[in-house]
Amino acid sequence: MKIVVADKGYDAKKNHKYAQVVLGARTLIPVRDRGPEIKMTGRRRRRQVREFNHPAYNQRPKVETVFSVEKRTTESHVLARVPSQQHKEFVFRAFAYNSRRMESLFLVFIEDFYRASGREVSKGVFQSAISLVFAFCRG
């Protein structure tokens, strides 16, 4: 993990320290405004204010959208109890999400291709396109 991105609610010294020391990642957490009478302390948090990367932080809503779609399309809770199995479940869910995205993009591509060539798009075209996607995924 290279960067940990979070909102202002996670702006705490222990979160910055954990991400940077234990995970070996940079933190991209906006510093909370604590008012003029409270002075900010800590080397990591002062550096965070100086080097805050707004364009990278603005990519956070994309990740939140993926998480939201993932929770809506699959169950929002983890079924596995053991951490190693939880990791496998997460990887499988990510693979399933990416497969659904790839399938929908492929079908849009096929539909646009047939429309551009002036041909009629039929149900059989989509069924053959789906079988091509599955054949491609199987290797």
**103-118 confidence digits (pLDDT tens):** 777 777 777 777 776 6
pLDDT, tens digit, 9 for 90 and up, residues 19-28 = 888 989 888 8
When the pLDDT of each residue in the chain is averaged and rounded to a whole number, the result is 77
Gap between the Cα atoms of 25 and 16, Å rounded = 9
**Residue 5's pLDDT is what?**
86
**Residue 35's pLDDT is what?**
67
Q: Where are the alpha helices (DSSP H) in the chain?
A: 13-17, 43-50, 54-57, 60-73, 83-116, 123-138
Would you say 47 and 66 are in contact if contact means Cβ atoms under 8 Å apart?
Answer: no
Gap between the Cα atoms of 120 and 51, Å rounded = 55
CA 135-136-139 angle, 5° bins: 90
Radius of gyration of the chain (CA): 22
**Residue 123's pLDDT is what?**
59
SS3 119: coil
| 47 or 8, which is more confident | 8
pLDDT, tens digit, 9 for 90 and up, residues 26-65 = 888 887 776 666 666 777 677 777 878 888 888 888 878 8
